[in-house]
Amino acid sequence: MTLELQKSTPIRLRSVNLDERWLQDRIVEDPSLLGLGDLQIIRRERSQPSGGRIDFLMFDPDSDTRFEVEIMLGALDESHIIRTIEYWDIERQRYPNFEHRAVIVAEEITSRFFNVIRLLNRAVPIIALQLNTFRFEEKIILHFTKVLDVYEAAEEEEGEFAEQTDRRYWDKRANAESLAIVDQVVAMLPKTGNAPRLTYNKFHIALGTTSYNFCWFHPRKAASYCHMHINVGAEKRPEIIKRLENAGIEAGNHSRSSIRLHLNTQDISEHRDLIADVIRGAEDLSHR
C-alpha cells in the first residue's frame, strides 16, 4: 500500500480561538494524550493552600506515582516553572507515601528555560512536555513531545541516599501477604551461592548479594501483590518480559535496563521456576 502525503500546518491554539480550558477538556476525555501512560485523573484544578489551582493531579496505580500537571499555552516562563515546582512540593508533603512527578506542559520551551529545568531535574523530578499542534483541513492534531524526563539515578544511588529502616518498620507498614512475597523471592536464590543481602529503606526493600543490588521491592499497604523492579540487563529485557507476559505475569520496562512487575502468591506458586530463573539471572548480572 502506498502512503499518501498530506500537508498539515503547525499552529498555536489561540490562533484558532482555542484556549487552555479547551485543551484541559481534551485531556479529561483522554489522559493518555500526554504520553505518560494510562493515568487516572484524581482532580482537575485542585485548590492549593498557598493559593492558585493545579491544573491536574493524576495518578499511576501501577507505580503508586502522582503527577502534578501544569499546562500553559504559549512559551514557558519563570512563573510557570515556579508554580509547577511549588504545587509538586505541596502535594508531596501532603501525601509523602507516594512518588511525585512535576509535569510542565507548554507550546514552546526555549533553550534558556530548558537548561533551567534540566539543572533542577536532579533535585526535583520534572517532566517537560512540549505541545505541538497541527491543523489538517478542519481537524486539529495534538502531539505532546517529552523533551525532558525524570533524571534516572543508577539504582545503587537511590539506595545509597535512601533513609534506612528495618524489618519491623515494614511489618507495620505493609500487607503481610505482600511482604511475604519478598521472602519467597529471596528464597529462590541458590543456597550454595552468595548469601542474600536485604536492605530495608523507607520506600523500598533492596536485594543484593556480594555486589550491586539487583532487585527492589515495593510491598503494598492494602493489596496482596508486591510491586518490583529487577535489573535484568537491556539486552535480555525484551525476551524476559515476553516470557513473563506469556505466563500471565504483568511486566514492563523500567529504567534503562530493568523490568517492573507485580507478583502475587499465585504467580509464585504456578511459575516458580520461571521467576527463579529471572531472579538468578539478575543476581549473576550484578557481578559483571
- Give the domain range for residue 220: 155-285
Do 160 and 112 share a structural domain?
Answer: no
- Look at residue 151 in the predicted model and tell me its pLDDT: 56
Do 18 and 116 share a structural domain?
Answer: yes
pLDDT in tens, 126-165: 999 999 999 888 889 999 998 888 755 444 444 444 678 9
3-class secondary structure, 251: strand
Do 162 and 140 share a structural domain?
Answer: no
Q: For 230-258, what is the mean pLDDT?
A: 86
Do 102 and 20 share a structural domain?
Answer: yes
236 Ramachandran zone, left/alpha/beta (phi>0; psi -120 to 50): alpha
Do 67 and 111 share a structural domain?
Answer: yes
Do 137 and 19 share a structural domain?
Answer: yes
If we measure between CA atoms, which residue out of 120, 127, 121, 115 comes closest to residue 36?
127
CATH number, domain at 190? 3.90.1150
Return all residues near 206 (Cβ < 8 A) that are at least 6 apart.
Answer: 155, 159, 198, 199, 213, 215, 216, 217
In a domain, 3, yes or no: no
Q: How many percent of the chain have pLDDT more than 70? A: 94
Number of structural domains the chain divides into: 2
Domain boundary among 129, 148, 167: 148
- Look at residue 185 in the predicted model and tell me its pLDDT: 94
Do 159 and 143 share a structural domain?
Answer: no
pTM over 0.75: no
3-class secondary structure, 34: helix
Do 248 and 123 share a structural domain?
Answer: no
